[in-house]
Structure 1
Amino acid sequence: MLPFSNDPSSAESYEDFLRGELVSLADRLVSKYQAALDRGAGTRGTSVFSTASSTGEPNILQAQTPVEEETSKDAPCTFVDERWANLTLNLMEEQDEVAGKQFVGHVISLRNIDQQAQLSLRGSWQFSWAEARRLGRQRTAEKPGPTRFNDVVEDDSWLQRFVVGPESAIQFVWALLATLFIVWDMATIPLEIFPMAGFSNVTFAVAAVSLAFWVADVPTHFLFGSQIRGIIEMRPARLAALYMKSWLLIDLMVILVDLSLIALEVIRASDMNPLFRSGRFLRTIRLVRLVRLLRVGKLERQIMVIAHRLLSTYSLMALRVVGYLSVMLAMNHLIACCWYGIGVFLKDNGRGCWLDRSEINQDNVGEAYIAALHWSLTQFTPATNSIAPDNAWERFYAIWVILLAMACFSSFIGSIGTTITSMRTVRRAQLLQESKLEVFFTERNLSLELFERVKSALDKDKRARTRLREDEVTLINGIPESIKVNLHKEMYITSLLQVEIWPSWSHKEDADLLRTICHQAMSEHTCRPGQDVFLPHKLCQYVYVIQTGSLEYHTLEKETEDCKSDTVCCLPSLWAEWPHMGRLTANLGTCFYIGVGCRDFSMLAASFGGPLCEYLKIFGILLLSEIEALQAQGTEVNDISVQNNISTRDLADRAERFASLKERSASRFGRSSSKDRTENELVSF
């Protein structure tokens, strides 16, 4: 057994001893190999080298040496291949089972830079290669991944480069402009029934600008990506097909109406024909403009695009109440303008109307509009009004308004009441928690400065945008466990594979282990501005994979480093008890990250066993050895500098080659042993 020592001062002597032994072993193997070639390797079963020491125990330093790889898997094993298997199994079985645990416990140790304490490999990883093989489970191939929410679908067309996503700033600005033009049309087009000569010039100028905007809006639907059934559709051909099936005909019709009206306005302004200047002709043109209000159907989508970009959940609830009231007001605005139009129509035809009975001058726009709006609102609410219909036209219109009010008023009032109740509940819970916080500080006579700092941190936490946690969606708790496994696998597998510790075959052949790790060892976390992910000197419980946002890492030397998306922190904690060597905090906004439980990860890997488990153990030993070497050179290794100072991809390649070497050797030895047993059985028979 090699002479290990816990004394750090003996590290140099141990390194010299190990280096000398390796050089001696290399010289001996080369000389034995050359001797084997000189004598010839044609006689099967001839023992060239002694495989036993004077004590009768296998001597791994005198075991047979390998030659070149066999060129075909079906070719028979030569006696040199058997000696290769003997060498490998001696290295694995005898050394691994007898001295492996002591080797791991003594060689793989790291010093805490603060406490000078040694870190040992986790107990879950202290197993032999034979134990890993015995615990190995059947490996299954990974199936192709399903389509996910927010997956982007694109094609190879030349227009693809011009398509912008639904979250782009261009779409946001365009939606904002569309909203302004639609609201302007809702407010001004009904008002054109009133005699406002100066206002017509303003509406004509805005209508020209609006027409240019809506003409340019038609081709933008071919270039603005949209989220359809959870998938972000970015293919121009598909976007064009969807637009043609929905709004294309309506938009073209409204554009043609606008062009016709603008042309008529230009003709009327330049032609002195009394037909174009009659009041009936002007009112007809104004009524035709109501067709542009069909664009109101787009308003909800445009407003939701803007609201989700700018507002929090509580603000969205308040906006919903304002939206209900705005819809009611818009409906009454249109009804009031039409009510005034009926009065003017009856008066022009020499019949009595509500304007005459109420002694309202139709040319007094302000008085007439207020009276009409008052009448419209009283049809929706149980309020009194002196204006009443007195002829068939007015009664017919009033009946349909009342029916509309019966259908809409109760729905709007119920929706507004429900939303306000929800807002009050949320606000009441916030006030209760704030009062408890104040009582907590008062009972303990704590400082006002600390209280203000706590309140400031809580205010930032309220303003921070967060996403729903799994425990907040109660319906997920009722789904079967097998579906939850697939749910967690799709949630975490991307982050798990970002940790560069896997061999090239792990994500294809060991899907069961990866799926179980995602289900049992991984969780999602949110760090709001001012919050800390971890503090120094505490043992690490997770490996952190940053998804979105950024964090700041403060070392013990007061140095600051930024951790962007896809950064992996505290990687060595998967194999060793690793104390945090700095503070990780969110100062630049809300950050979302995934945590991989260290103990759960190691226990699951050990329980699954198999080649992947052995590979992970080898990778951990190599990683901790590299860290120990860096510390011996005076390079400080902290929670986030591991991947900057060590090439984990190179370590993965080395570990994969070594694990594959063991697997191939065991397979060859197993085939030879099986053949020998078969020959013995035939002889006995």
Structure 2
Amino acid sequence: MIELISSLRNVVWDVFGAMFVLYDCFVIPLRVFNPPVTPLWVLVEWLGIIYWTINIPVTLTLGYVVDGEAIMDPYSIFMHYLKTWFAVDAMVLPFDWTFAIMDIAESGAGTDGEVVKLLRILRLVRTARLIRLLKLKWILEAIDDAFESEMAGIWVKIFKMVLLLLAINHLIACVWFLLASTNPADDTWLVQEGYDTVNWDYQYATAFHWSITQFTPAGMEVQPHNMTERTFTIAVVVFALVGFSYVVGSITGSLAQLRSMSEHAVKEFWRLRLFLKRHKVPPPLALRIKRFVEFEFQRQQKMMPLETVGVLKLLSEQMMSELQAAINIPHMTVHPLFELLRDKSSLVMHRICNTALGHKQLAPGDILFMPGEQASCMYFLTTGRLWYRRLSVEPPNGEEIKDEPRGEWVEADEDWITEPGIWLAEWEHLGSATATRPSSVIKLRSENLYEVIKQCPPSFWRFLKEYATRFCNWLDNTDFEDLSDIFQGDKNSDLIQSFIPQQGEVKPPQKESPTSENFFGNRLRRMSHVFTARADD
């Protein structure tokens, strides 16, 4: 099964890959200190070899992106792998398995000193594993894409820069020790400072301390004692002037970006409080406004509405339609008709999402509609919760109302609201819908839906005409007291499903053009002129 690079499975897999790459960056240079081999060390080595071996077939199941287009073809993925990471895997993995088997043979059989020395020299070939550092940038980019919060992304960037600084100092410390340990003369810092007889871990700590001091104004007792060490020290200091400035500058810039984000929010909320105070807004209303703005600000920071991403304006109309569909269709498919259109006519759904949808935010206590208001939209609740209150029917002859108004909850991504509003020319809301928590709704506007339907092929509008006819017949045959603006998915899905025409049930076009009356009975429906106008096509 081919998946995109940004899939959750691949992100988790890449996290482990980054850990093994960082492990190699730390352990391979550290071998110059000849640290003892521990069971944990051996375990991690084997896990790394197994991971990079399995990574080959995993890579062949991941698509890649070229010029904004996702490539999911298995043959293209295979050829892309041969042109990119195959050379790295072919160069490194055979050595990994060879030395792993040699380690087992060395520990299981007695070997003389010459053989052990030869094996240690051959293990220097393991430095080829550092070629996987080329993968680290690609892996870190895939991990960065998994963070939805801009603030979290900035903190991760700061962490990466600190990690880079430590990795550079680790490598310099290992080279500093290697220069002294491989020099047969006694004029080395290792001998002159008396560190040649201490444990390896203290030798590493001393070398790392020396490396850190070359990047800062601090000093320590270890100094170069020969020309090689002096030259290396000069090179490190020159590199530190540029490298350390770059790292510190990047960290400072990220911290400034964090402070700028918080300052912008503080300034905007200060302006809000000043506005409410100067316009003498009543305290209860001002409190509601501040609480809703705080919630909506945090929600938009998390959700990132499409309007806030300026670069999306560069998308083509087709790609924008696909993006709108990917965002909105999951909320619309609670309705069986739109679920079928998603599977059978994706292009129509893309057009609907791009041209016929709107969005509306509701604060707790806000009213979506009132009884008697004219309906021209169908609503889908995406977040939050609404309370719908259906008014009782006024009895004739001035009799008293005996039945109490009935109510029901409207749940996000479970129910849909006011479907008759897109089929009937005149549908008045039968009750009121009030938000009980911060909520968001999608509005399917009937007039814009009309424009989409005009562009559809005859087979589609005949299909939609048959569905609308069955739906309106059901409305005509249902007692007014039993009607509602709310269609609950768990109760009404089967009913709505029965209105959807099956294959062969859509009638072929007739010679005469049906009027709006013989199609919809004696009520004028909003969409009737669409269907009747296309009947002769």
Q: Normalized against structure 2, the TM-score is what?
A: 0.69
Q: Whole-Å Cα distance in 2 between the matches of residues 637 and 535 of structure 1?
A: 13
- 1:191 shift after superposition: 2.1
Task: Look up the match of 2:130.
Answer: 293
Comparing 297-306 with 530-539, which one deviates more in the overlay? 530-539
| 1:607–1:227 CA distance, 2 compared to 1 (3 A) | closer
Residue correspondence of structure 1 range 629-644 to structure 2 within 5 A: 629-632=476-479, 634-640=481-487
| 1:358–1:447 CA distance, 2 compared to 1 (3 A) | farther
Among residues 531, 555, 558, which one is paired with 2:388 in the alignment? 555
Q: Is the 8 A contact 1:528 1:586 kept in 2?
A: no
The question of 1:570 aligning with 2:418 is answered: yes
Q: Whole-Å Cα distance in 2 between the matches of residues 605 and 536 of structure 1?
A: 28
| 1:439–1:330 CA distance, 2 compared to 1 (3 A) | same
Task: Look up the match of 2:198.
Answer: 363
| 1:344–1:560 CA distance, 2 compared to 1 (3 A) | same
Q: Is the 8 A contact 2:189 2:225 kept in 1?
A: yes
Task: Look up the match of 1:338.
Answer: 175
The question of 1:662 aligning with 2:492 is answered: no
Q: Whole-Å Cα distance in 1 between the matches of residues 467 and 50 of structure 2?
A: 65
Among residues 56, 59, 62, which one is paired with 1:221 in the alignment? 59
Q: Whole-Å Cα distance in 2 between the matches of residues 308 and 350 of structure 1?
A: 52
- 1:207 shift after superposition: 0.9
Q: Is the 8 A contact 2:64 2:72 kept in 1?
A: yes
Q: Is the 8 A contact 2:25 2:167 kept in 1?
A: yes
Task: Look up the match of 1:240.
Answer: 78
Q: Partner letter of residue 31 of structure 2? A: E
Task: Look up the match of 1:176.
Answer: 15
Among residues 275, 279, 283, which one is paired with 2:114 in the alignment? 275
Question: How far does the alpha carbon of each residue in 1:307-350 deviate from its partner, in whole angstroms, 9 at most, with x for none?
Answer: 4335522111111111111112111111111211211112xx12
Secondary structure at 1:555's aligned position in 2? Answer: strand
Gaps of 5+ in 1: 1-161, 664-685
The question of 1:394 aligning with 2:225 is answered: no
Q: Which has the higher contact order (CA 8 A, sep 6+)?
A: 1
Question: How far does the alpha carbon of each residue in 1:561-620 deviate from its partner, in whole angstroms, 9 at most, with x for none?
Answer: 55549x865343335355555648798x998x7544345556x68999x999x9899889
Secondary structure at 2:228's aligned position in 1? Answer: helix
- 1:192 shift after superposition: 2.2
Residue correspondence of structure 1 range 515-664 to structure 2 within 5 A: 521-523=355-357, 525=359, 534=368, 537=371, 540=375, 542-544=377-379, 554-556=387-389, 557-560=406-409, 562=411, 564=413, 569-574=417-422, 575-576=424-425, 578=427, 581=431, 583=433, 595-599=443-447, 622=469, 625-626=472-473, 628-632=475-479, 634-640=481-487, 645-646=495-496, 649-650=500-501, 661-662=512-513
Q: Partner letter of residue 473 of structure 2? A: E
| 1:485–1:164 CA distance, 2 compared to 1 (3 A) | closer
Question: How far does the alpha carbon of each residue in 1:497-541 deviate from its partner, in whole angstroms, 9 at most, with x for none?
Answer: 98969xx9xx99xx9x9999877x545648799898945546556
Q: Partner letter of residue 512 of structure 2? A: L
Secondary structure at 2:114's aligned position in 1? Answer: coil
- 1:458 shift after superposition: 5.5
Gaps of 5+ in 2: 390-405, 515-537
The question of 1:326 aligning with 2:149 is answered: no
Comparing 535-544 with 201-210, which one deviates more in the overlay? 535-544
The question of 1:412 aligning with 2:412 is answered: no
Question: How far does the alpha carbon of each residue in 1:26-53 deviate from its partner, in whole angstroms, 9 at most, with x for none?
Answer: xxxxxxxxxxxxxxxxxxxxxxxxxxxx
The question of 1:260 aligning with 2:109 is answered: no
Residue correspondence of structure 1 range 11-30 to structure 2 within 5 A: none
Among residues 191, 207, 217, which one is paired with 1:372 in the alignment? 207
| 1:621–1:203 CA distance, 2 compared to 1 (3 A) | closer
Residue correspondence of structure 1 range 90-101 to structure 2 within 5 A: none
Q: Whole-Å Cα distance in 2 between the matches of residues 398 and 640 of structure 1?
A: 76
- 1:409 shift after superposition: 3.2
Task: Look up the match of 1:192.
Answer: 31
- 1:439 shift after superposition: 7.0
Q: Whole-Å Cα distance in 1 between the matches of residues 317 and 255 of structure 2?
A: 39
Secondary structure at 1:189's aligned position in 2? Answer: helix
> Sequence identity of aligned pairs in percent?
19
Q: What root-mean-square deviation, in Å, do the aligned CA atoms of Structure 1 and Structure 2 show?
A: 5.1
Question: How far does the alpha carbon of each residue in 1:167-212 deviate from its partner, in whole angstroms, 9 at most, with x for none?
Answer: 5443343223222222222222222222432x44432232122212
Q: Partner letter of residue 339 of structure 1? A: W
Q: Is the 8 A contact 2:147 2:153 kept in 1?
A: no
Q: Is the 8 A contact 1:527 1:590 kept in 2?
A: yes
Question: How far does the alpha carbon of each residue in 1:410-466 deviate from its partner, in whole angstroms, 9 at most, with x for none?
Answer: 4333332332222111111223345566778998554999799759846862774x2
Q: Partner letter of residue 276 of structure 1? A: V
| 1:356–1:572 CA distance, 2 compared to 1 (3 A) | same
| 1:271–1:488 CA distance, 2 compared to 1 (3 A) | closer
| 1:309–1:492 CA distance, 2 compared to 1 (3 A) | closer
Task: Look up the match of 2:48.
Answer: 210
Give the number of aligned pairs.
478
Task: Look up the match of 2:403.
Answer: none
Q: Whole-Å Cα distance in 1 between the matches of residues 161 and 236 of structure 2?
A: 18
Q: Is the 8 A contact 2:385 2:411 kept in 1?
A: yes
User: Which has the larger Rg?
Assistant: 1
- 1:392 shift after superposition: 3.5
Q: Normalized against structure 1, the TM-score is what?
A: 0.56
Q: Whole-Å Cα distance in 2 between the matches of residues 515 and 254 of structure 1?
A: 47
Q: Whole-Å Cα distance in 2 between the matches of residues 174 and 265 of structure 1?
A: 27
| 1:607–1:252 CA distance, 2 compared to 1 (3 A) | closer
